[in-house]
Structure 1
Amino acid sequence: MVETVHAGVLETAFERSGDPAGPPVVLLHGFPYDVRAYDRVAARLAERGAHVIVPYLRGYGPTRFLDDATMRSGQQAALAQDLLDLLAALDLAPAVLAGYDWGGRAACIAAMLEPERVAGLVTVDGYNVQDLARAAQPAEPEQERHRWYQYYLHGERGRTGLERHRREFARVLWREWSPEWAFSDEEFDATAPSFDNPDFVDVVVHSYRHRYGLVDGDPAYAQLEARIAQLPPVRVPTVVVDATRDGLGPPPDPAEHRLHFPHLVANPQLSVGHATPQEAPRLFADAVALLRF
C-alpha cells in the first residue's frame, strides 16, 4: 500500500512494511528503477523486526512536487535533502539508510551531512558522491563508453528520445548494467509505470546535465553543494556492497572504501550487476542486517 507525506518540497510516496516500533530502515532505489527493486529485501528485513520504508524518489511513481514553481532538479544535493526531509517528516531518525545508484548517492550524502540522524549506511559500490569540480575531466575511454546514456541526455535529441521512449530507454539500461540478470517482462512492467511521472524527464535530464556543469543547480541547494564539494568522509557505521558484475564497470578498490568510510563494518563482494538488491535480495538484506539494527 502506498502512503504519502509532506516532506520538504515533495509529497513523497512510499511503501511501509514491518513493525512500526522496530528500528527504521530506509531503502532507496536508483535510476531507472523504483521501489519494486526492494520487494524481497523489504520482506526479509520486516521478518527480522525492522520498520522498513521504501520511498519513490523525486520524479518517480506517485511522488509529486508541492509547488509548480519548484525547479525539477536532479542534482545530488536535492536528492539528499529529500531524504533528510523524509526522515524528519516520518520521525525516523536515527535510521539505517541503504541504497544504490541515485539512492546510494542520497544515502551517502545524508549520512555525511547529518550523521546524528543515521544509525548506519549500506551503499553499493562505495562513495557515490559526485566530485563536480572534476566533472569535466574525461575518464578512461572504456569507462566513457559506458556513459553513453549521460551524454545522449546532454542534447535536446536525447531529451526528446527519453520523453518518447521512456520504457525502451530503461530496458536497454537494465540489460546493459545487469548482463547476467534474466529479468522477466513482468518484473520490468512492475516498475515501468513509475517513469510516467510528469517530472521524470525533467529530473533525469537535469541530473545528467548538472553533474557535468552544463546547467545550473537549484539555488536552494547551493550551500549544501558547497559542503558536499569538500568530499568529507562518511563517519557512520557503513557496509559497502561491491557489485562485481556491474555493466557500468568494476567497483572501486577496497582501499578507497576505507578512505571514505572510517567506520567500515564490512565490504561484501556480490557477483551481481547494477540492480543489486533486485538481483540478490537475500544477500542485500544480510548486508543491511550486518549493522545490527
Structure 2
Amino acid sequence: MISRRTFSKTAGLGTGAAALSLVGLQGLPHASAAPRKAGGTPTPTVPALTPGTHTSFAKLRHVRAGVLDVGYAEAGPAHGPAVICLHGWPYDIHSYVDVAPLLAEQGYRVIVPYLRGHGSTRFLSSRTFRNAQQSAIALDIIALMDALKIENALLAGFDWGSRTADIIAALWPERVKGLVSVSGYLITNVDAQKKPLAPAAEHTWWYQFYFATERGRLAMEDKTDRHDLCRLVWDTVSPTWHFDDATFERTARAFENPDYAAIVIHNYRWRLGLADGERRYDRYEKQLATRPTISVPTITLDPERDPFTAPGNGASYRDRFVGPYEHRTLSGIGHNLPQEAPTAFAQAVVDVDRF
C-alpha cells in the first residue's frame, strides 16, 4: 500500500459499508471541523449520506448544445449557483446520483450531463465525425453552459470528467468558479503518451491497449462483450466498493447509445496517437500540450484504492495548480469516487466554493 501523509483539513465523509476516512483520520465518520471562509463564517458541513441511498434522478432533460442534443439530469433551485458534475468511463450520470441531492440541499443548481456517446445524448447529424479527443469533449460542456445560459460554474469530475473540467479551467478560467478534480491534473499530451510507463502501470491500462486492436473494437460493438468488459473494469478499479448488480445495470443502460463504441474506441486510440482528431481542434490541443497551469480555486481528490492513483499525495501534479488549492486523499475508496464517497465529494464542492 502506498504510504501517505496526514492532511490538516478534512471533508465530511459518508457512512455505512462504504464508510471512509481521510488519511491520518482513520475511524472518524466525518470531519471534526468545517473549513472557514474569510471573516470566520464556517463552511456548511454536508450531512453524511450512506452511498446508494438514491437510485434515480427526479429530473431528466434535453437541450441542443453545439453538435449535440445533450441529455442531462438536474437537481436543486433553478437560480442557484451552478455545479456541473462530469462522469468518466465506463460510467454515467449515476456516479452522481447521491451527490446531486446533497448539493441541491445546499442550494446549488446541479447539472449532470451524459457525455457524448453516452446515455440519451445524441449527435444532431449523422455526418458529424464521432470524435472523442479531449478538447472536443471540453467544448461540448462550454456549449452546454451557453445553451443553459450559465456564465460560470463550479466544475467537478472524475476520469474523463476530471480531464474535461481541467481543460475548461485551464483554457477558459472565466467560466469556472471553482474546480474539484479527482486524480488531479489529467490533461493529455499525446506526444508524451508515447513514452512507456513502468510495467505495473502499463498493466493497469490493459483495456487502452485492447481498444487499439480490432478485437477490442469488436468487443465494444458487441452488447454482451461490452457489458462484461465494463463490469470487469468496475470490479478491478474499485476493489473495496461492494455495489450490487442493479447499480451496475442502471449505468450499463447508458452504454446502449448507438455511438458508444465509436466514441470510446476513438478516445483511447487518440490518446495513444493511433487515431486522428479534427483540424478545427488543433489550436486547443497545441495549448494543452504545453501543460497549462490552472489558476481557479481547486481541490484535488485522490482515491487511495484506485490503481491509477499516483504515489506522492498529489506531488506529481501540484505545480499545475497555481491558485487557491487543497489536496485530499480518501482512504479505502476506489476509482468511482463520487458514487463510492458522495458526502466527501459533495463537501469538496461546497468547500472550494468558499476559497
Q: Normalising by the residue count of structure 1, what TM-score does the alignment of the two structures yield? A: 0.97
Q: 3-state SS of the aligned residue for 1:266?
A: strand
Q: 3-state SS of the aligned residue for 1:121?
A: strand
CA deviation profile, 1:150-184 (whole Å, cap 9, x unmatched): 00000111100111122111100000100011111
Which among 71, 93, 118 is matched to residue 13 of structure 1? 71
Q: 3-state SS of the aligned residue for 1:132?
A: coil
**What's the CA shift for 1:55?**
0.2
> Which amino acid in the other structure matches residue 203 of structure 2?
R
**What's the CA shift for 1:85?**
0.9
1:125 lines up with 2:183 in the alignment: yes
**What's the CA shift for 1:219?**
2.1
Which among 273, 285, 293 is matched to residue 213 of structure 1? 273
Alignment correspondent of 2:349 = 288
C-alpha distance 264-168 of structure 1, shift in aligned 2 (>3 A): farther
1:269 lines up with 2:329 in the alignment: yes
CA distance in 2, matches of 1:20, 1:45: 13
**How many residues matched?**
293
**What's the CA shift for 1:229?**
1.2
**What's the CA shift for 1:288?**
0.7
**What's the CA shift for 1:252?**
5.5
Which among 47, 57, 67 is matched to residue 105 of structure 2? 47
**What's the CA shift for 1:194?**
0.3
**What's the CA shift for 1:87?**
1.1
Gaps of 5+ in 1: none
Alignment correspondent of 1:145 = 203
Between structure 1 and structure 2, the one with the greater Rg is 2
Q: 3-state SS of the aligned residue for 1:256?
A: coil
Gaps of 5+ in 2: 1-58
Matches of residues 250-269 of structure 1 in structure 2 within 5 Å? 250=310, 253-269=313-329
CA distance in 2, matches of 1:63, 1:276: 23
> Which amino acid in the other structure matches residue 209 of structure 1?
R
CA deviation profile, 1:33-89 (whole Å, cap 9, x unmatched): 000000110010000000000000000000001111111111111111111111111
Alignment correspondent of 2:302 = 242
CA distance in 2, matches of 1:251, 1:62: 37
Alignment correspondent of 2:283 = 223
Equivalent residues of 1:125, 1:251 under 8 A apart: no
> Which amino acid in the other structure matches residue 152 of structure 1?
Y
**What's the CA shift for 1:265?**
2.7
1:58 lines up with 2:83 in the alignment: no
Is the helix fraction higher in 1 or 2?
1
Which among 261, 269, 278 is matched to residue 201 of structure 1? 261
Which among 161, 168, 171 is matched to residue 110 of structure 1? 168
What's the Cα RMSD here?
1.2
Q: 3-state SS of the aligned residue for 1:278?
A: helix
> Where do 4+ consecutive residues of structure 1 move more than 4 Å?
none
C-alpha distance 252-204 of structure 1, shift in aligned 2 (>3 A): farther
CA distance in 2, matches of 1:201, 1:218: 19
C-alpha distance 128-240 of structure 1, shift in aligned 2 (>3 A): same
Deviates more, 1:92-101 or 1:247-256: 247-256
Q: 3-state SS of the aligned residue for 2:165?
A: helix
CA distance in 2, matches of 1:175, 1:254: 24
Alignment correspondent of 2:94 = 36
CA distance in 2, matches of 1:176, 1:255: 25
CA distance in 1, matches of 2:324, 2:231: 34
CA distance in 2, matches of 1:69, 1:116: 32
C-alpha distance 245-140 of structure 1, shift in aligned 2 (>3 A): same
Alignment correspondent of 1:167 = 227
Deviates more, 1:246-255 or 1:273-282: 246-255
**What's the CA shift for 1:226?**
1.4
**What's the CA shift for 1:93?**
2.2
C-alpha distance 201-252 of structure 1, shift in aligned 2 (>3 A): farther
1:279 lines up with 2:279 in the alignment: no
CA distance in 2, matches of 1:258, 1:142: 23
> Which amino acid in the other structure matches residue 176 of structure 2?
V
CA distance in 2, matches of 1:228, 1:289: 28
Q: 3-state SS of the aligned residue for 2:195?
A: coil
Deviates more, 1:241-250 or 1:193-202: 241-250
